[in-house]
Amino acid sequence: MRAYYMDNDPSDQRLAHDSGRAVDAETLDALGVLRWHIPVDPEGKWESEVDAIANERHYKNRDVVVVNKEGMGDQFEATLKKFYHEHMHEDEEIRYVIEGGGYFDVREAPTDEWIRLHVGSGDMLVLPAGIYHRFGLDMGMKSRTMRLFKDEPKWIAHNRGVDTDVNPFRVDYLKALQSKGVAVGA
């Protein structure tokens, strides 16, 4: 997994858009972004490592989502647009990339800059509830990803806006950042 600030070029979201400014582990830690690299191996050892993290974080359910043109047909472009729209969730978002790759973009506090996390096979990521983010595929144009859930599988996005800015999960996220000494602005 590679983390860097985006270059703010609005062209094709599948491109790297690397500003040349790397983001260090401390910055991601301060934002509450957790990450692991667990190589996908033919023997399936990765599954026990993913299970251990899931158990530690009290995840009870999971599914696997395949995002590619072949499998999704006419829904492919609409689904990518939905994922790439800036949003937050009221629960952690935890993903393990089995195959393919893409970008999780997260908003940094207090700058509101996009930090791009390029994920690929074997990368596991936890985004905290309340963090603004989005997802897009990279130039490989495919991803097979395990999603983990504390309860029943659900994916409810709250698109960024005035109402979302005061959502209790967003407010709690900002308070958690402040308790870590991160300035979050007005």
Please name which of 1, 51, 55, 9 lies closest in space to residue 28, comparing C-alpha atoms.
Answer: 1
The annotation status of 89 as a binding-site residue, yes or no, is yes
The annotation status of 133 as a binding-site residue, yes or no, is yes
Question: Please, which residues have CB within 8 angstroms of residue 127's CB and are 6 or more apart in sequence?
Answer: 32, 33, 89, 92, 93, 94, 104, 106, 133
Determine phi and psi for 54, rounding to 5 degrees.
-60, -45
The annotation status of 58 as a binding-site residue, yes or no, is no
Q: How big is the CA angle at 5 (ends 4 and 8), to the nearest 5 degrees?
A: 140
Question: How far is residue 35's CA from residue 51's CA, in Å, rounded to a whole number?
Answer: 15
The annotation status of 70 as a binding-site residue, yes or no, is no
Question: Binding site for Fe(2+): which residues?
Answer: 87, 89, 93, 133
Which residues does the annotation place in the binding site? 87, 89, 93, 133
Task: Enumerate the known binding-site residues for Ni(2+).
Answer: 87, 89, 93, 133
